[in-house]
Amino acid sequence: MLKVVTPLVPLLLAASMLLGGNGLQATVLSLRGANEGFSTAMIGLLGTGYFTGYILGCFVNPWLVRQVGHIRVFAALAALVAAATLGFLLWIEPWFWFALRVLAGFCFAGLFAVMESWLHAAAGNENRARVFSIYRVVDLTCVASGQFLMPLFGVEGFLIFIVMAMLTCLSVIPVSLFDRSGPSLPEGFHVNPRRIWLISPIACIGCIAIGLTNTGFRLISPLHVQAIGFDLTQIATFLSAAIFGAALFQFPLGHMSDRLDRRVALMIACSGAALAAFFLAFAPPVPSYVYAGSFFYGALSLPLYALLAAHAYDRASRGDFVTLAAGLSFFFSLGAMVGPLAASLSFQLGGGRGLFGFLGGVQLLLTAIAGYRLVVRPEKLTQAQAGS
């Protein structure tokens, strides 16, 4: 494992800054938008805008990688993200923010595709979930730590936006100057959802489901804990509990996925996430209960993308890695476009119980679908099949 991971250290360092800033931005915009008088539905639409751009990026960015390579695409898209982050300060108006979130989503579709294809090209089927889990642990740890920049700088004013833009700019340095481990250029540059579906139906369905739940949780749950009286530090702690939980459970779940059928690991994680969501739906507004529920929900729901991605990459050829990364992002984005709006509507209709009931229901549905796929296609992929 050490031999595989060492060449990827510059990429992981870049990811820590880039993704930490991106995770903080979603929370800041939700809270700042509420303070500026944006409706809950409009805050949900900001999430929809992000993933509208994300879907566009899934189709365009693999072509860009094919034309100029991974490092140049990474640098160009990171520069656009930094500019968009500062753009939120120019005009505090909902539809202008919506347009900037579309741009940010477009850019991050390419940034994620570059980083994830880079990682999967360095891994084999025997350690893919663990390599990707390391990436996710770095990502989640930095996102969780970054939440505490909110009480330090506040969500009002301009300082927090400057900090986020600086993190994005700094992420370009390790990849541009130190990383020479990039994968070969993709053989094709278009997203083919049908082909990706044939590779792994459960990965496609699962990405839609976690798009619904992850974005709903990240964007709307801060409004819930703010509504029950939590201050900025407590909101940051609530979100960080979920993300630290994911960071702690990511590698064990990845290890279990490498040892067992990945669909079994998916069923275990999804059913646990559903229980944690239902606990949050009925937990009293006491910090210790809310933090505990957030920890276990994040621990079991946020790592799911790594399990689904590993399941799909097991069945793909190396020439498909960039387009598969973009394709899985496409399916995730389909769910993520709907997730913030569905979660905001659930919150408006039923408060915290409506929000977490919606999240838990989706997790239970994904558990059932994974169980069905295990029955109709019971065999686990073998190394011989993987190489064919």
Q: What is residue 2's predicted lDDT score, i.e. its pLDDT?
A: 60
Phi, psi at residue 37, to the nearest 5°? 95, 10
pTM across the whole model: 0.75
Tell me the C-alpha distance between 70 and 72, whole Å: 6
CB 16 within 8 A of CB 142: yes
What average pLDDT score do residues 59-68 get?
80
Residue 189 CB contacts under 8 Å (≥ 6 apart), including other chains = 62, 63, 65, 66, 323
- The per-residue pLDDT for 386 is 39
Average pLDDT, the chain: 84
Higher pLDDT: 381 or 158? It is: 158
pLDDT tens track for 318-368 = 666 666 776 787 898 889 889 888 998 999 889 899 999 999 999 999 999
User: Residue 349: which residues within 8 A CB-CB, separation 6 or more?
Assistant: none
What pLDDT sits at residue 243? 85
What is residue 385's predicted lDDT score, i.e. its pLDDT? 40
Check residue 72 and give its pLDDT: 87
What is the per-residue pLDDT for 270?
A: 94
Q: Does residue 303 register a pLDDT over 50?
A: yes
150 touches 236 (CB < 8 A) = yes
pLDDT(175) > 90:
no
Q: For residues 284 and 33, give the distance between their C-alpha atoms in angstroms, rounded to a whole number.
A: 26
Residue 102 confidence class, pLDDT cut points 50, 70, 90: very high
Domain boundary assignment for the chain:
9-387
Q: Is 319 exposed, middle or buried (0-12, 13-18, 19+ CB in 10 A)?
A: middle
Residue 19 has pLDDT above 60, yes or no: yes
Categorize the per-residue pLDDT at 382 as very low, low, confident or very high, splitting at 50, 70 and 90.
Answer: very low
Does the pLDDT at position 159 exceed 50?
yes
pLDDT at 63 over 90: no
What's the pLDDT score for residue 195?
Answer: 80
The rounded percent of the chain whose pLDDT value lies above 70 is 87
Residue 184: is its pLDDT beyond 60? Answer: no
The answer on pLDDT for 126 being more than 60 is yes
- Range with the lowest mean pLDDT among 114-123, 139-148, 200-209? 114-123
Q: CB count, 10 Å around CB of 75? A: 15
Residue 122 has a pLDDT of: 67
State the CATH architecture for 9-387.
Answer: Up-down Bundle (1.20)
pLDDT by residue (tens digit) across 225-272? 988 999 889 998 999 899 889 878 887 888 888 887 788 889 999 999
